[in-house]
Amino acid sequence: MAVVINGSGTVTGISVGGLPDGIVDRDTLATSIDDSGDATAITIISSEDVGVGVTPETWAGGIKGLQFGNCGAMGSWSGNSVYNNNAYYSSGWKYITTNESTAINHNSAGDILFQTAPSGTADAAITYTTAMTIANDGTVTQPLQPAFGTRITSLMDNLADGYNTITFDSEIFDQNSDFNTGTYTFTAPVTGKYMLSASIASINLPLDAQWFFLQILTSNRSYTHSTSTDQFDAAADASHVTSYTMSSLADMDAGDTAYVRAYQYTGTNQTDINDNYSFFNGYLVC
């Protein structure tokens, strides 16, 4: 049985004759909900799901739904409550209309999950991806936030004249699959400010070298760190490891790239990059 209360005060689908006098009648029940027009204000269908300004979808699986407009919805079950855009529950979450869907899920553990789903067709199953979780203890995690950590897996022998691209060919982690180990390059998936940091370690640095430059090169600009090598000339052991480290907050547009280069200014081409002490990391700040 469906219950319809419309703005003109007409109630259909229930009998009000059995209600106790003085508590509620047909007119006060309808007027308290909507008396501004003739459109249906609230529809309650036989599954006890409620629609405001719309006939709701039939929710199932023990979840009672409140649907408002053509795509807003709320559901609750077993200590959980969910606020959805374009979704209802019936043997799993399904699209109300053909469009994207989002959800804010308050679960029984006291966590809040922010979830998204790509466009799907009406009544098709939804697979949500959790973009952010606020745990009950206040911890915030963003598993899809762009962040990467890389290293090189073999010694780079005898740096050539000019800038040499550092071959960061192994990922320690890459949360959003934005780093290419074949080109040693990070590609920004969205426009924002990215914290980028690099460290490389040289061995066999020649005594006749004057400067060593470490550079993070992005599509917008370069960030360069320079070090005088005079301080290392007293090192008797050619295998002495010298590290060069830098970081920068880089502005990057979606599709911009970033990679690391090194340049030994003057001197014999004998410098090697040690794979054990070299890394390139980055993450989206805002």
Q: Which residues pair with 82 in a beta bridge?
A: 75, 105
pLDDT at 134 over 90: yes
Q: pLDDT tens-digit profile of 5-21?
A: 555 555 555 544 444 44
pLDDT of residue 30: 47
Instruction: Tell me the pLDDT band of 228, cut-offs 50, 70 and 90.
Output: confident
Q: Which residues pair with 164 in a beta bridge?
A: 262
Backbone φ/ψ region at 285: left (φ over 0), alpha (ψ -120 to 50), beta: alpha
- Grouping H, G, I as helix, E, B as strand and the rest as coil, residue 29 is helix
| Domain extents in the chain | 3-141, 147-284
Counting beta carbons within 10 angstroms of the beta carbon of residue 197, is it exposed (0 to 12), middle (13 to 18) or buried (19 or more)?
Answer: middle
What residue type is assigned to position 238 of the chain? A
Asked if CATH classification 2.60.120.40 holds for the domain at 147-284, the reply, yes or no, is yes
Q: Are 66 and 57 in contact (CB under 8 A)?
A: no
Instruction: Enter the tokens of residue 122.
Output: 């009406």
What residue type is assigned to position 131 of the chain? A
CA–CA dist 117, 162 (Å, integer) = 47
Measured in degrees and rounded to the nearest 5, phi and psi for residue 53 equal 75, 15
Q: pLDDT tens-digit profile of 209-220?
A: 888 899 999 999
Strand order in the sheet with 40-44: 11-12, 3-6, 40-44, 50-52, 64-68, 72-77, 80-85, 99-106, 112-120, 129-134, 140-141
CA–CA dist 96, 104 (Å, integer) = 16
Q: Are 185 and 279 in contact (CB under 8 A)?
A: no
Q: pLDDT tens-digit profile of 13-58?
A: 554 444 444 444 545 544 445 445 556 789 999 888 999 999 999 9
pTM: 0.75
Q: Are 201 and 274 in contact (CB under 8 A)?
A: yes
- Which residues lie below 8 Å from residue 126, measured CB to CB, with a gap of 6+? 87, 92, 93, 94, 95, 101, 117, 120
pLDDT at 138 over 70: yes
